Amino acid sequence: MDKEPARRREPRIVDKPWGREVWYAHTDRYAGKVLEVEKGHILSLQKHRVKHETMLLQSGRVRFTLNDAVFEWLPGEVVSIPPGNVHRMEALEDSVILEVSTPELDDLVRLEDRYGRG
């Protein structure tokens, strides 16, 4: 079996109303992103049908909603979100979040959105 060659490339930057995403990996097996969320901004209340996410708060402070629980997420803590779980993040400070997930980046069911996205 031939191995895939290693390579170097620039990440993909995706601007969002709450900050931006830096996509550093997207393969048929996994995806990796950095979410940079500006203080006072809030992401969609959402869930995924297939996508499984694991996130590490690298810096900042975030109010995290996970199903019926709301908690303050602190740097160094990890949250794992299997498919079907309703979640939302609100930046209490400028925050940087590392996300690794299954590759279904378009698997998003928005339940509420401050910015009017459907």
Taking only the tens place, the pLDDT of each residue in 78-107 is 999 999 999 999 999 999 999 999 999 999
**Residue 110 near residue 44, CB atoms below 8 Å:** yes
The reported pTM is 0.92
Residue 113 amino acid letter: D
Structure tokens at 89: 């993040």
What sign for the dihedral angle of Cα 58, 39, 13, 81?
A: positive
Segment 5-24 shows an average pLDDT of 94
Structure tokens at 88: 């939302």
Whether 112 shows a pLDDT value over 90: the answer reads yes
What distance lies between CA 44 and its chain's CA centroid? 11
> Options 2.60.120.10, 3.40.640.10, 3.30.1130.10, 3.40.50.300; which CATH number does 32-109 get?
2.60.120.10
